[in-house]
Amino acid sequence: MFSKVSEVIRILERIFKIDLNEFLAYKVAVETGDPFETLIATILTQNTSERNAFRAYFNLKKCYPTLRPEILSKASISELSKLISAGGLGNVKAKRIIEASNYVLKKLNGDLWSLLKLGIKARNELMKIPGFTSLYKLI
C-alpha cells in the first residue's frame, strides 16, 4: 500500500512541481513518523494557509515539545487556543485537539499505530475522531 502511495506522490510532485515539505502534515509525518503528531498537524492545517499552520504548530511545540494524547487531553481550550491562534479558528481547533486526544486515549488506548495496522478498515475508525468526518470523506 505504501509503495502505491509513494508512487502517487512522486507523480504529483513531478506534474505539479511542488515541494511536499511545504505542507505541514506531510512534513510532520515524514520527520516524526508519529501518527498522533501527524493527526494534530492535520487539525492545524484545516481552513488555513500552510504558513499559518506551521506557525501554529511551532507555537504548540514550544509549549508542548512532545505531542502526546495523554498530555494534550489535559490542556485547556483557552491555553491551546492562544498557542495555535496563528492558524485561525483557535477555539475550534483547540477543542478538536482535546477531543481527538481523548478519543485516542479512550478508544485506542493512546495508540494510533494499532489503528493504522487495520489497513482499509482504519478509515472507518478515523472518521469517528471528532472533527475529522469531513476530512476523511475525501480519502
Q: Which long-range contacts (CB under 8 A, 24 or more apart) does 59-68 make?
A: 59/83, 59/84, 59/86, 60/84, 67/34, 67/36, 67/37, 67/40, 68/36, 68/110
Q: Has this prediction a pTM greater than 0.85?
A: no
Q: Quick one: pLDDT band at residue 129, thresholds 50, 70, 90?
A: confident
Domains along the chain with CATH numbers: 21-136 (1.10.340.30)
Task: Count Cβ atoms within 10 A of the Cβ of residue 25 and give its class: 0-12 exposed, 13-18 middle, 19 or more buried.
Answer: buried
User: What digits encode the pLDDT tens for the residues 21-71?
Assistant: 789 998 998 899 999 999 999 999 999 999 999 999 999 999 999 999 999
